[in-house]
Amino acid sequence: MQPRERILEKTFILFHKQGYNATGINQIIEEAKVAKASFYQHFKSKEDLCAAFLNQRHSFWFNELLKFTSDAEDSNLKVLKSFDFLIFMNKNENFRGCSFLNILSEIPSDNIKILSVIQNHKSDLRAYFKDILKDDLVSDHAYLLFESCIIESQLFKSNQLIEQSKKIIQTLILK
């Protein structure tokens, strides 16, 4: 792997596991086994690295979601499988939650570079539900339930609210 890829690979693990503020550049450089000059050749700052990490996380997360829901036979099942995807991710990532929201809680409110990446991710997720459901009100309900499930399941280390939300969504989309 090239230095840039090694840096992003370690960042992917460390930012997700430890958080943005608790992960230092020196730790990333050491664990990625790159020279400091090489790091700064690819990333001008920790902020630039974070934006790159979030863009990579966005691609990874959406690819996994689309793969997970690809066998759904209709739009209603695709929405329900999207909630099952959260359960799958909680299992694989030990209820770590949303990297985007975790980092949002760690950055200053005026950090436009990172904030815009986070906003784009959430806008794409909202559009994902709109594309499936074709009804703005119902798709916004699904999106808001989905987002709250991420937070609640991280907080309580439980998938119970996800299962409840699937039942709520079923009543909304099957009317």
* Burial of 48 from C-beta contacts in 10 A (0-12 / 13-18 / 19+): middle
Percentage of the chain beyond pLDDT 90 is 97
* pLDDT number for residue 19: 92
The segment(s) of the chain belonging to CATH 1.10.357.10 are 45-173
Average pLDDT, whole number, for the chain?
96
Measuring CA to CA, how many Å separate 32 from each of 15, 53, 91, 96?
A: 13, 14, 26, 22
The segment(s) of the chain belonging to CATH 1.10.10.60 are 1-43
Q: Does the pLDDT of residue 93 top 80, yes or no?
A: yes
pTM: 0.93
**Residue written as token pair 């119970």:** 160
Look up the CATH architecture of domain 1-43: Orthogonal Bundle (1.10)
* pLDDT number for residue 36: 96
* pLDDT number for residue 16: 83
Q: Which CATH superfamily is domain 45-173 in?
A: Tetracycline Repressor, domain 2 (1.10.357.10)
